[in-house]
Amino acid sequence: YFLPTLAPPTQKSFQGCMQAILLDDQPADMHAVEKGIVGAFENVSLDMCAIIDRCMPNHCEHGGRCKQTWDRFSCTCDGTGYTGATCHTSVFEQSCEAYKHLGRSSDTYWIDPDGSGPLGPFKVNCNMTEDKVWTTVVNNLPAQTSVTGSSRERRTVLQLNYSASMEQVTAITTSAEHCEQHVSYGCFMSRLLNTPDGTPYTWWVGRSSEKHFYWGGSGPGIQKCSCGIDRNCTDPKYDCNCDADHKQWREDSGLLVYKDHLPVSQVAVGDTNRLGSEAKLTVGPLRCQGDRNYWNAASFTTPSSYLHFSTFQGETSADISFYFKTSAPYGVFLENLGNTDFIRLELKSPTVISFSFDVGNGPVELAVHSATPLNDDQWHRVMAERNVKEAVLQLDLNYREARPAPPQGHTRLELFSQLYV
């Protein structure tokens, strides 16, 4: 706001909002300025504060902190476990299997099973001494936990908490080829499963909050212990050693292997209220082997081979990653089309990978060039990401190209066809 007799300021003007403006102790009459009665104005919105909040909505993901200047925003990802312009990409591998593929040895690692999804990273133990990798998640129940004073009417319920949330543990069991958990019930005059009416004295609860009436070494729908399956129980009239109700220490133990029921979240003990009776319970860590998500391989044997999936959902933020090996010199990895928008990943030549898309601002192509041929029948890793700030293409963790998004351009990727791979 300046008087018409003066030239506009030669320095950069203030950008922002002002209110309660006084000139010589008199309120500035903005309506008079707007009507041209007093002064003049240019590129000013009157009677409002029209600042654009570039952190609303917040495009920083996974708890990233949004910061803004007058014309752009940025994300601070420190401490989130994620990286990238919008904190979209996990800095951790998705499984122990992935760490082994990188040449790592047995140790404790952070994993992020759903990558850029909502589940956060968590620590697991990775055992890589065998052909298949074991992933171990521990719980807080001490070994040989003693239970006394419980009855069928008032069971003692032992709650198990794991080093990861139930949602995170479920992500491991869902993708695993095999999971197991060792359970042990030591008993002194404390029955385990056998009761006159068929309802067991003790049961356990799995991940879906359902009660299970079988014990380690047995399976769903079979109310027995391991010795009952093998027919070598202390008393052949019973299917568990502890059900013989002996006045000496016995044990029923074995592996729970039906992974849709795992992990054990509770154990309810119900026969330790008689004089001298006692139970000692041990629930081992959850151990899972294999990663079906990592090895979800497909072979494309002709130039017309393809897989198709539902439309790619990634309007403002999305990522794609895969391993490939080939002896062919070129080929399209995947493609999804819209009216004008599209997204495509392609082996353009034996040494070039390209990532191209259009979100309404015109086609954009990123390319990475390998120093050695990629059609060498060896595994190569491709990762591509697009968000409102930038697009990134990475090959084998060695080659990377990033392209900033136009500050005032279109941001939403609108597709309608099926995704072809």
| Strand arrangement, sheet containing 266-269 | 156-159, 266-269, 203-205, 211-212
Q: How far apart are CA 163 and CA 411, in angstroms?
A: 39
Q: Considering the chain, what is the average pLDDT of its residues?
A: 86
Query: Per-residue confidence at 3, pLDDT binned at 50, 70, 90?
Result: very low
> Is the per-residue pLDDT at 50 higher than 70?
no
403, containing H or E segment: strand 399-404
Tell me how far apart the terminal alpha carbons of the chain are, to the nearest angstrom: 58
Look at residue 1 in the predicted model and tell me its pLDDT: 43
**Is the pTM here over 0.95, yes or no?**
no
Task: Give DSSP secondary structure letters for 46-68.
Answer: -SS-----TTSS----TTPEEEE
More confident site: 235 or 199 = 235
The full set of domains in the chain, from first to last, is 143-165+184-286 (no CATH), 308-420 (2.60.120.200)
* Interval 74-107: pLDDT, tens: 899 999 999 988 999 899 999 999 899 888 999 9
When mean pLDDT is compared over 25-29, 36-40, 56-60, 345-349, the highest value belongs to: 345-349
Give the burial string for 12-50 (b: 16+ CB within 10 Å, else e). Answer: eeeeeeeeeeeeeeeeeebeebeeeeebeeeeeeeeeee
| pLDDT greater than 50 at residue 166 | yes
